[in-house]
Structure formats: C-alpha cells, structure tokens
Amino acid sequence: MSSNASGRQMDTNAPYQPESAGSIASSYRTLTTWLWSQLKRTGRAATYSSVLLACIAMIEVAIAMTLLSLPLSPAPLVVGLVTFAVYTNDRVADAEADAVSNPHQAAFARRHRDSLYVLAAAAYGLAISIALFGGPIALALTLIPGVFWIVYGSHWVKSLNSRIERLKNILVLNSAVVALAWATCLTFLPVAFADAALTPAVGVVFGYFFLRSFVDVEIPNVRDIDADRAVGVMTIPSVVGVRGTRVALYGVDLVTAILVGYVAVTGLIAWPLAVALCVGLCYSLGIISQLGRITDTTFLGQAPNGEYVLVGLSLVVIVLVG
C-alpha cells in the first residue's frame, strides 16, 4: 500500500515531461490538413465561379495600362467584375452541356445556381456604377461584354438561318466574337477612364489582345471536343481535330509575334515591354505543343491564364529594374 502510494507520490513530484508532444504534432497535422482542404475548396470555388478569370482579366487590363503608359484607374476592377458576371452566367446557363466536358464545374454551377445568378447580377451592377464615373464611353464599353454574351449565346440567329441555332455554333466566328468583345473592353476601357487619345499604339494593343483572346478560347475547346460535337457547336478542334488546332494556333501565335516585333522595331512600344510579351508567347507555344497530349481537363481550361501571369510578372521586373 505504502509502495503504491510512494510510487504515485514520485510520479506527482517528477519533473515535467513533454508527453503531449505527439498529440501536439497530431493536432498540427490535423490543422494543416484542414487548412489545405479549405484552400483547395476555395481554389475550386474560385475556378468554377469565374473569380479566377476575373483576377486574370484584371491583370490583362494592368498589362494594357502599362503598355500604353496610362495612369491608375478603376478600369481593372470594372473589367474584373464584368468578367465574373459574364462567365458566371455563361457557366450556369451551359451547365447541362458542360456536364460531359467539365462535370465538376457543371455540378458546382447547378448546385449554386441561384446564388451565382445573384452574385453575377450584383457584380455587373457594381461595374456599371463604377463605370459611370468614367463617362459615357466607359459606360458603353462596360456594357459591351454583356451585350456580346447575349448575342453570342441567344437563338436570334435561327430566325435568319434555321440550320444555325446560335452564333456560338458558327466556326471561327464564335471565337472571333468573344475575342473582339474582350479585346475591346481590355484595351479601350482604361483609355476611356484616362481620357487618353487614340494612338497607333492603342490599335496595336487591341490587336494583341484580340489574337491572344482568340487562342484563349480555342485551347479549352480541345477539352470540349466531344461535348461540342454532341450539341452541334462548331469549334476549330471539333472540326479539324487536335493536330489541325495546333497548326492553326501556331499560326495565330506567329501573327502575334510579327505584331510584337513590328511595334518593337518601330518604337510604338518600348522593346523591354515587347520582350515581356514574347515571354508570354513562348509560354503559349509550349501549351499549344501539348494539346492532345495532356488529358487533365482542368489544366486545359486554366492553362491560357498562365500567359498573362508571366507577362505581368515580367513587366513588374522590367519596371523595377528600369
């Protein structure tokens, strides 16, 4: 009895031993696992809801402003809000068609349909409110993507040609319309906010974004070949196949390279800035070369966005060094 009591007394008086170290490590692992899972959920939500695209659009506007030496303005925020609104509405509207090519995104759009519609409407409304401070031209440019989306996805074309459901179904024109809408907004909205003059450099930047936006549309279409063929949407990949798409997009990148080389030689844009654009082009060529070899549908959908991140980072380095 006394021996047990003594043992207990010894245990009580013994110096502190970090016996809970294992439980602390376990708690740390649990916490990091939870944080990582939340980060992945947030990333998926940002991707599926177009928040990521909105951020990329803001980077694109910042690139345009840097190339044209424009002052700071709300233009990036306005374009980001419009991008979120347009693409969120598009993904909710096309959720059924996207179920084959991008099932996770389609499921997210169906599950949060009502909330996404409300957020998209609020985002576009806020964009229009901010654009009012830029004047009537800025307001008109803010409305262009929404108008083009309605024209692009509605069935008004069928009244002109019963064999064509939507403008979205017409080969090349569908991607060109999307590219035109975004190139116009990305280039001219910051010009309107700055009340700057239209110069040849503005036209060059518009041409650059038109060509890049065209490629951005067609790369994810490789992922959607089966779904597009099933619903009768004619894209370059669904018509000429993956190899033909690679050749076509190489051609677009070549035209872009010629344009960038021209502006660097003529001095319309400083050559260090042209070098930054070439960094993005090299990235684009690398992605195009992998079309048909990469099966990750999420990667194909997001891969074009990396070009603008690289160009943006290159411009930041150039500005800091210069």
Residue 74 clears pLDDT 90, i.e. is over it: yes
| Predicted pLDDT of residue 195 | 94
CA–CA distance, 144 with 267 (Å, rounded to integer): 31
State the Cα torsion 259-261-262-263 to the nearest 10°.
Answer: 90
pLDDT tens digits, 3-42: 444 444 445 555 555 545 567 767 667 777 777 676 767 7
- 23-45: string of b/e by CB count within 10 Å (b at 16+)? eeeeeeeeeeeeeeeeeeeeeee
Q: Domains of the chain: which residue ranges?
A: 52-315
pTM exceeds 0.85, yes or no: no
Q: How confident is the model at residue 2 (pLDDT cuts 50, 70, 90)?
A: very low
Q: How many CB atoms lie within 10 A of CB 182?
A: 26
DSSP string, 146-194: HHHHHHHHSSGGGGT-TT---GGGSTTHHHHHHHHHHHHHHHHHHHHHH
Burial label, 173 (beta-carbon count in 10 A; 0-12, 13-18, 19+): middle
pLDDT, position 161 = 56
CATH class of the domain comprising 52-315: mainly alpha
Q: Where is average pLDDT lowest: 33-47, 70-84, 258-272, 279-293?
A: 33-47
